[in-house]
Homo-oligomer: A and B are copies of this chain.
């Protein structure tokens, strides 16, 4: 069986950077260290870090037990950041530089007197962080239809993983009534490139393996895309989940992986597929 792996599979720039920072901190820190929320949506990586003493915590109230706190790629709201600093805890800020930019642009737009509109999922931690910089009258929208009265002077920033088409629709909608519109296109290309390559790959193979946390939004998006194309698709987290029946008679399989999936998991799955197909 031929196995094709997408070049864009796995860690994006921001996740790779954050995971490197996390392992470095876990290995070198002697005190008690934590990440605020799971550092990435991948249980295997979180487990590895926990074994090295870097524990994910959910609430800011739990920080008193720790002397080092790592901020994950999504970033955190401004007031939480201030609280952490007030508590005198050491901070390693692994916020993705692209997310950081979206936060800074939101702040800048507010300072320049724009009413800020954020295109994104209001329940996503990244958006919660950006909102905190954007002013009290900020509007978070999932699409153009949600915008009724944008205002006369409108600034737009975008959750980094949003599709470009949706941004274009939002900007078109705002330009209809606003007199002045300033847009920072903070969409990260890596998501779009991964989706494009996955689409191409799914068109070439008989079965697709989409690897990544079952709770990872961008991995689920990849799996949905493959299913829509009509190729048989398996969303798995680890090699253990693979069923021999899945590859029976298959000549060509494809592998893609979400932004939070580490290389070693992709390699394990590739190896397992090769082993199983050699016995087929």
The answer to whether B175 touches A168 (Cβ under 8 A) is: yes
Q: Within residues 139 to 192 of chain A, which ones have a CB less than 8 A from any CB in chain B?
A: 164, 167-168, 171-172, 175-176, 178-185
Contact of A167 (CB < 8 Å), options: B168, B175, B184:
B175
For residue A147, give the distance in angstroms from its CB to the closest CB of chain B: 14
Closest residue of chain B to A180, judged by CB?
A: B184
Please classify how large the interface on chain A is, using the bins under 10, 10 to 19, 20 to 34, 35 or more: 10 to 19
A70 to chain B, nearest CB (A): 29
The CA of A273 and the CA of B185, in the complex, are separated in Å by 56
- CB pair B176 A181 closer than 8 Å: no
Q: Which of B164, B175, B179, B180 contacts A171 (CB 8 A)?
A: B175
Q: Determine the chain B residues whose CB is within 8 A of the CB of A181 once the complex forms.
A: 171, 181-183, 185
Interface residue from B164, B167, B180, B185 paired with A185 (Cβ < 8 Å): B180
Name 20 interchain pairs, CB-CB below 8 A, sorted by A. Answer: A164-B176, A168-B172, A168-B175, A168-B176, A171-B175, A171-B181, A172-B172, A175-B183, A175-B185, A178-B185, A179-B184, A179-B185, A180-B182, A180-B184, A181-B181, A181-B182, A181-B183, A182-B182, A182-B183, A183-B183
Beyond known contacts A171-B171, A178-B185, A182-B182: 18 more, CB 8 A cutoff: A164-B175, A164-B176, A167-B175, A168-B175, A168-B176, A171-B172, A171-B175, A171-B181, A175-B185, A179-B184, A179-B185, A180-B182, A180-B185, A181-B181, A181-B183, A181-B185, A182-B183, A183-B183
> What CA separation (Å) do A181 and B171 show in the bound complex?
10
CA distance A181 to B185 in the complex (A): 8
Minimal Cβ-Cβ distance residue in B for A184: B180
**Are B180 and A180 in touch, CB under 8 angstroms?**
no
A173: nearest chain-B partner, CB-CB = B168
Chain B, residue nearest A177 (CB)? B185
Chain B residues closer than 8 Å to A180, beta-carbon distance = 182-185
List 3 A-B pairs, minimum CB-CB distance, nearest first: A168-B172, A181-B183, A182-B182
Write the nearest CB–CB distance from A230 to chain B, whole angstroms.
28
Question: Chain B residues near A168 (CB, 8 Å)?
Answer: 172, 175-176
Chain B residues near A182 (CB-CB < 8 A): 180-183
